Structure 1
Amino acid sequence: MRVNFEFRRFSNGLIFAGALLLPLALGACTEQQAKESDKGRPVLVTAVHYESRSPERSFVGTIRPRIEADMGFRVPGKVAKRLVEVGQIVEVGQPLATLDEVDLKLQAEQAAAELTAATGVLAQASAAEGRAKDLRARGWSTDAQLDQAKAAADEARARLNRAQRSVELTNNSLSYATLEADSRGVVTATLIEPGQVVAAGQTAIRVARSAEKEAVVAIPETMVNFAKQSAANVTLWSDPNKKYVAKLRELAPAADPATRTYLAKFSLPAADDAVSLGMTATLTLSDPETERVARVPLSALFSQGEAPSLYVADAKTGDVSLKPVTVKAYESKDVLITSGVEEGASVVVLGVQKLDPAQKVRVVSSLAF
């Protein structure tokens, strides 16, 4: 009997202690809920991102010069010096290579000697013509003698003219012994060496002009019309964050027989020194007339008989505002909007029907959509 009495006494004590602790626990829970309520209503948001409705197309290409000239000597001869190497940048008028000038100087001296002789012959023929005219005027000479003197003088004048042209040609040939760059560019190939005998016009140095560069890509036949109508830009693999505006300059009229693609050349008017020949580039084609839209979940759209709207939340202040938006199209799970909210804005995607612009919210998660 004493044991039952002790057990009953212990049970009554536990019940009494629980009755005292229950109000304290309930008070703690109420206080925690109050703190959570002060921080704002938790909401799930997603960032708005506008993009072209039609997908962009990208192709890998190579940076090449628009003009790459094969330069050669205009006269034949033996190469004396080659003054440039592959990869060297050359300026206008810079010597690239020279020929042995011995034979060319001899030809120039020969032409000068012929000019001196022609000058003397013309002086003698002119004097004879003058005397023949004087004698004919006095009646001491015949017309045949006068005509003969005139013909000799005319021949001497023609000979002098020919000698003068010969001197100019030999001087030009002597100047052609030095091959000079006709524009600023970079040497891409050297096809001659000192001691080599070259013919007139034979390719000696290949120079790529740096005035204009272009991106060369292979376009599949299904994208040919798209390439003609699209806006293009180019990014380099070495600097993918910088874009260069590109313009279609040339499109091959026939497909490559092996790859069945069309070679397209896009000029880069704003290319700087960072765009080097031979670099790998990415050409991106996009439709310039395509409207830019943002895709958000259907659950984010708020509408009560008025214009569709989105709740935009500010994570710093906890404020929420209702923004009317323009809807482009509805899809099975998403809605496409064209305006109303800014790029990067945080819109609430769940529970928008229970939100009030006057209440505070707390961003608990961000949905990458």
Structure 2
Amino acid sequence: MAHSILKQIVKRLVIVTGTVVVIATAGVAITFGSEALANRAASAPTPDAAKTVPVSVAPITLAHEYTTQRRFLGQIEPATEALLSFELNGRLSKLLVGEGDSVAKGELVARLDTSLLDAERKRLLASQNATRAQLTFAKTRLARAQDLQAEGFSSQETLDQAQATFDELTSRISEIDAALLTLDINSEKSVLYAPFAGRVGAQDVEEMETLTAGQSVLTLIETSTPQVRVGLPLHLSAEDIGQVSIVVNGIDYPATLDQLRPDIDPATRTRTALFSLQSDATFAFGQSATLSLETTVQATGTWIGLDALQQGSGSIWTVLVVEDGIVRTAAVEVLYLQDEQAFVRGSFAQGTQMIQSGAHRVVPGQQVQILAGEG
């Protein structure tokens, strides 16, 4: 039994001794490993400190108004366009102009057949001559009757009859004169003159056609002062419209406001404005034109490039500014967009340094370096 106990004691000593040896060996390994790692770390080069990102900034300059550029579609039309016609019935004997012809003011453009008027004039002139001859005799007879009646050789009835004949012939002469005047007027109305200088548009009849009074013969278009008709919003007044430009076929032409009508177009719910084009260029009437209208809006803000805008939370837009070398965000409200710029107002003050370019390379809270010569 004593032998068995001794055997167990020896076994336990062996286990304890092995454990101590393993622990000692591990400690030595850890010690030498730590020293090796420390020596390797000490021999490695020290990394450079992270460099600050250079950014381009510009001080914010506040403005108290901005100008909007709005465009409205319109149409070119002549200042005057007239449908020429005769006031009388008749046969068109001469049409002296054709479509597209240029005419001067007062130029003869058409004539009716006046043969019936000429015949009537001859008849009236003959009747006038005959009546004047009768009036001459009646005047002599009246003078004789007056002398005889004064001497007592003629009755009052004879004198009255002579007076009545004279008065009747005098009235007949006046009637013939009025008829001749009517013929003169009808003769004048049988010729058609251009009321203004321009060019012939549509030609509605041909020579030798029989026309009725008021039937359109041709359209005359004034070409010297073309106008542009545009529908404008109701809130605009004539005082809001100054010197404007109108684009036709990609070319800007200066224009001035002629009239702003007081009524509202029932179809478009706009007010019609008429502008005169200040140009000697030739325009095709009926073609489209675009009115470019500048309007000044009173608001405090600044112009920034679109690439400086960033989408914030929700519907808020932000820009990045630099304060003491640190990137911060400033909320802005976009008031107007034009080309590659936006007019905004926001939580910034005059002179705040805003990042103009490279905003995508930095984040709020990051330290940055302002490029030399800026800020």
TM class by shorter-chain length?
A: 0.5 to 0.7
| 1:246 aligned residue | 257
| 2:152 aligned residue | 139
Matches of 1:198 and 1:286, distance apart in 2: 51
Once the two structures are superposed, the pairs formed by residues 120-131 of structure 1 within 5 Å of their partners are: 120-131=133-144
- Residues 76, 127 of structure 1: alpha-carbon distance in 2 compared, 3 angstrom cutoff: same
Contact 2:88 2:190 survives alignment (8 Å): yes
Matches of 1:296 and 1:95, distance apart in 2: 64
Matches of 2:140 and 2:56, distance apart in 1: 115
Matches of 2:141 and 2:65, distance apart in 1: 91
| 2:288 aligned residue | 280
| 2:208 aligned residue | 195
**Where does structure 1 lack aligned partners over 5 or more consecutive residues?**
1-41, 303-328, 338-346, 363-369
| 2:66 aligned residue | 53
Matches of 1:348 and 1:299, distance apart in 2: 6
Task: State whether structure 2 residue 240 is matched by structure 1 residue 230.
Answer: yes
Q: 2:129 aligns with which of 116, 124, 129?
A: 116
Query: Displacement of 1:242 after TM fit?
Result: 2.3
Q: Which sits farther off after the overlay, 191-200 or 229-238?
A: 229-238
Query: Displacement of 1:227 after TM fit?
Result: 5.4
Contact 1:251 1:262 survives alignment (8 Å): no
- Residues 99, 333 of structure 1: alpha-carbon distance in 2 compared, 3 angstrom cutoff: farther
Matches of 1:83 and 1:292, distance apart in 2: 65
| AA at the equivalent of 2:234 | V
Query: Displacement of 1:287 after TM fit?
Result: 3.4
Once the two structures are superposed, the pairs formed by residues 143-162 of structure 1 within 5 Å of their partners are: 143-162=156-175
Equivalent pairs counted in the alignment come to: 278
SS in 2 for 1:86: coil
Percent same amino acid among aligned pairs? Answer: 21
SS in 2 for 1:287: strand
Contact 1:85 1:187 survives alignment (8 Å): yes
- Residues 97, 236 of structure 1: alpha-carbon distance in 2 compared, 3 angstrom cutoff: farther
Matches of 2:149 and 2:128, distance apart in 1: 31
| AA at the equivalent of 1:246 | L
Matches of 1:282 and 1:73, distance apart in 2: 38
CA RMSD of aligned residues (A): 4.3
| AA at the equivalent of 1:285 | L
Query: Displacement of 1:235 after TM fit?
Result: 1.4
Matches of 1:85 and 1:51, distance apart in 2: 59
Q: 1:86 aligns with which of 67, 76, 99?
A: 99
Q: TM-score, normalised by structure 1?
A: 0.61
| AA at the equivalent of 2:254 | K
